[in-house]
Amino acid sequence: MSVINRAMGLLAAVAFAYGASADRARAEDFITIGTGSVSGLYYPLGNAICRLLNKDRPRHGIRCTADTSEGSLSNLQDLRDGRVDFALVQSDWQAKAYEGTSQLSRGIPFSDLRAVFSLHEEVFTVVARADSGIASFSDLRGMRVNIGNPGSGQRATMLALMASLGWTMESFSEVHELSAAEQSAALCSGTFDAMVFAVGHPAASVEEATTACDSVLVPLDEPEIRAMIAENKYFEFAQIPANLYRGNPMPVNSFGFAATLVTTRQQRLKVVQELVRAVFSDLDTLRRAHPAFSRLEATAMVENGQTAPIHRAARAYYRSTGLLDRDAQ
């Protein structure tokens, strides 16, 4: 064989290999889940879901990554704008986005929003320095408070709670907007007196705040707050267990909602089906990913915390496995 022929044969082989590689790349689906800050639970949760899906990637050709974000509202906006394929959001903000009752949607319902499944319970949590004298939510008035960064669910829920009580930003002596990743260190350094967090427990950020300095969990148990919770269709009464954190020997009453995974009506059937199959066929692995996920139950994940319609591929899987009635919408 001549040198020219050998060279042409080598080029053909390279072109074939490149073409095959390109075909595989085109056949592979790349999806992104919008999560939250590294110190919260959405980021490890998104990564745990991606690990389950990626484990069988040679078969289905789907590659999943979890992106950090500002939180629930930011995730919903990114999902609506097509910057992420799936999003982890609080169930109260899933509902408000779908119904068009939140500042996110400016009164325009996110009608293409679709539920996939719900996850762990999240509790609205207030942590205060022990030397601040804050013993109830009402004691926050006139104090220095971190309400969370713009785009986060914790901030949006705090603002909704403030509105129901007739509070404004002027109700506090100082308002801080640090993210979940920054707030615990700032609390212990004395930057502010209290912080709020919407999170599943146990949470690393709350553990940091109660370990690095003397901090207390503040109950939301006053009559006007209990009445607001009872009247609000998005919230449920919740309790943080006793002795979960240093210096907090008593259970703490508050309110909560569910963490939920959502997507859009346009999301590919194959992708949704494979993601749901990966999670529900190996739920024990997800439960072991974090103590807050240990109580996940398949039926509750399908039935609870959903306002948007369930994506049709997820609904088909739940019906086929008996998790959803055949006539359920």
Say which CATH number the domain at 199 has: 3.40.190.10
Residues 128 and 163 reside in one and the same domain: yes
What pLDDT is stored for residue 101 in this prediction?
81
Residues 126 and 237 reside in one and the same domain: yes
Residues 214 and 191 reside in one and the same domain: yes
Strands 194-199 and 113-129, how do they pair? antiparallel
User: Which residues contact residue 321 at a Cβ distance below 8 angstroms, ignoring those fewer than 6 apart?
Assistant: 280
Q: How many domains does the chain have?
A: 2
In a domain, 3, yes or no: no
End of a domain among 240, 257, 274? 257
In a domain, 299, yes or no: yes
In a domain, 9, yes or no: no
With bands split at pLDDT 50, 70 and 90, how would you rate the model's confidence at 12? very low
Cis preceding linkage at 202, omega within 30:
yes
End of a domain among 257, 282, 310? 257
What pLDDT is stored for residue 141 in this prediction?
97
Does position 255 have pLDDT exceeding 60, yes or no?
A: yes
Residues 113 and 143 reside in one and the same domain: no
In a domain, 274, yes or no: yes
In a domain, 14, yes or no: no
pLDDT digits (tens, 9 = 90+) for 60-83: 999 999 999 999 999 999 999 999
Please provide the DSSP assignment of 209-277 as one string: HHHHS-EEEEP---HHHHHHHHH-TT-EEEEEPTTSSTT--S-EEEEEEEEEEEEETTS-HHHHHHHHH
Q: What is the pTM of this model?
A: 0.86
What pLDDT is stored for residue 325 in this prediction?
82
Residues 81 and 110 reside in one and the same domain: yes
What pLDDT is stored for residue 16 in this prediction?
41
- Residue 142: give the domain boundaries: 122-257
In a domain, 140, yes or no: yes
In a domain, 205, yes or no: yes
Residues 189 and 313 reside in one and the same domain: no
**C-beta contacts of 96-103 below 8 A and 24+ residues apart:** 96/234, 97/308, 98/307, 98/308, 99/307, 102/73, 102/156, 103/156
Residues 172 and 282 reside in one and the same domain: no
Residues 80 and 112 reside in one and the same domain: yes
Mean pLDDT of the chain: 90
End of a domain among 257, 273, 303? 257
User: Which residues contact residue 179 at a Cβ distance below 8 angstroms, ignoring those fewer than 6 apart?
Assistant: 37, 70, 148, 149, 152
Q: What is the DSSP letter of 137?
A: G
